[in-house]
Amino acid sequence: MAQLNLLVGDIKGNTERVIAAAQQAIVEHAADIIAFPELTLTSYSPEDLLLRPSLQTRIDKALQHLLSANLPVHMLIGYPLRENGRLYNAVSLIKGSTILATYRKQCLPNYQVFDERRYFSPGHEPCVVNIKGIAVAMTICEDMWEEEPTRQAAEAGASLLININASPFHRNKGAERAALLRTRAQQAGIPIVYVNLVGGQDELVFDGSSMAVNATGECLVQAPSFQEGLFPVHLEVLPGDAKRARLSVSAGESTAADSIDAGLYKALVLGVRDYVRKNGFKGVVLGLSGGIDSALTLVIAADALGADRVQAVMMPFTYTSQLSLDQARAQAERLGIHYSVIPINNAYRSFTTALENEFAGLSVDVAEQNIQARCRGVLLMAISNKKGVLVLTTGNKSEIAVGYCTLYGDMAGGFDVLKDVPKTVVYRLCEYRNAQADALSAPVIPRAVIDRPPSAELAPGQVDQDNLPPYDELDAILELYVEQDCSATDIIAKGYAEATVRRVLRLVDLNEYKRRQGPIGVRLTQRGFGRDRRYPITSGWELGD
């Protein structure tokens, strides 16, 4: 199982990765078959690169390069196949200089983050090939989530099914896959090898977690999550009837499944690492406020890139507490992060002085608070431009949902690490990270930061709960509305106060314009803001049923 981290659009580079991995599999594992992830050559998802006129020329050259390598191993290679004026999501079995068979994906997902019907036509036929006397079927990703392709493969005489994937991570995805494979293996009565992509691609993170189950659905081989590599699966031929041999998956090396919080944390680390690496940034910079969101973001960045590629900037103002100043410095020193302090008092005064005539006769309100945030955004973006580093923003999903963030202020940046992390989960992830071995003697996230009441510190004595419901209540309402599409009536019926529900839902709807202009971030739930949830900015939709 070639669980590789490939780069979207890098057809030449991905092809070289395939050849190198196949050679390694031959030398180190004496492999008979090596299976690569879905759309191996373009990686997933190429989106509208699939519409480029030169796509087929590049794919043809890549296939010819693979055939010219003349490798003595059966390779399952995914790629976009143009045939008779149609484009298919395909996988071919290649050995030596020959394409032995090709399968076209039948089930094209067109929900959540998937948009395959925009590009591909569906296939309709199973593909079963003989490999060393064994009848092997090939399918692709979504084909496993529907019953028909697996049933076709079994009826066509397959003794083994290999399913190649680009299945993105979200919370509890591993358990969902394991249950699905168990069901399909039992229905077909054959073992299944499931090979998945690993790596970050914009807001999506692919967790790998490739696995092999026997004919009863028992998982006997489990590759590590969020880790690139070649992971062997041994299949034994058992006595069978005259029509088809029977296979058994031999128990191999397996990795224990991640806890929910471990999976979320690993996804955030890999998402940051690959976004920075694949886009060529030298490192990252972020505003370290002394609050819990920036503290967690800082640790994730350090784990992803190393302390030497992370800069933290404290930008205090009149309302910044001594606790914030002390804890930000203490955390940066604990992690060995480059840390600097740039007060914004003078910048703020310059802006308010320039606006004196415009603001004359008007009382101080949120406009002045937003100027503070925007001063900080300007400073961070200037550092980004000058040093070639990426600005990480630190807003969490709860704040972004209800607009408790400043456009062109704390939303100014290139990547929002916590964009799909509700505030209650932020606290859980801090506790998870502090429980790791390297943090037991000296926490990487200061206890005082976790225990303090959350505050933007944009006004005297300000705390988040002045403007928002308690976070446990807010997050529960947001999950029902954003992730489960419950109506206001449904949520109120679950026992939440009508006034609170209507206020929260109205804030979510009103702040779509902010989210459209904010940076992308790692997707962790089944309904993140961005590719998943696409609502109009201008709308007359009324809250209710």
Show which residues are catalytic: 38, 105, 141
Structure tokens, 30: 């004496």
Tell me the C-alpha distance between 188 and 423, whole Å. Answer: 43
Tokens of 284: 């990252």
- What's the token pair of residue 415? 């990547």
* SS3 at position 521: coil
Q: Is 322 exposed, middle or buried (0-12, 13-18, 19+ CB in 10 A)?
A: exposed
Residue 244 phi/psi, 5° resolution?
A: -155, 145
Backbone angles phi, psi at 145, to 5 degrees: -80, -10
| Beta-carbon contacts of residue 486 (< 8 Å; ≥ 6 apart) | 480
Measured in whole angstroms, how far is the alpha carbon of residue 60 from the centre of its chain? 30
Tell me the C-alpha distance between 78 and 89, whole Å.
7
Residues 310, 283 contacting (CB under 8 angstroms) = yes
Question: If you ran DSSP here, which 8-state letter would residue 84 be given?
Answer: T
φ and ψ at 33, to 5 degrees? -135, 140
Contact 298, 312 (CB under 8 A): yes
Which 3 state secondary structure label does DSSP give 45? Answer: coil
Joined together, the tokens standing for residue 527 give 């309904």
> What are the tokens at 34?
């090596």
Among residues 245, 196, 220, 283, the alpha carbon closest in space to that of 4 is found at 196
Cis bond upstream, residue 210 (ω within 30): no
Could you tell me the CA-to-CA distances from 502 to 174, 401, 441, 514, 535 in Å, in that order?
Answer: 35, 14, 45, 19, 18
- Distance between CA 414 and CA 276 in Å, rounded? 10
Q: Is 63 helix (H, G, I), strand (E, B) or coil?
A: helix
Look up residue 41 and give its amino acid: L
Half-sphere exposure at residue 312, Cβ-oriented, CA atoms within 13 angstroms: 31
What is the three-class DSSP state of 541? coil
Please give the Cα distance from 474 to 399 (Å, whole number): 10
SS3 content of the chain, % helix, strand, coil (to 5): 40, 20, 40
CA torsion through residues 332, 200, 424, 415, sign: positive
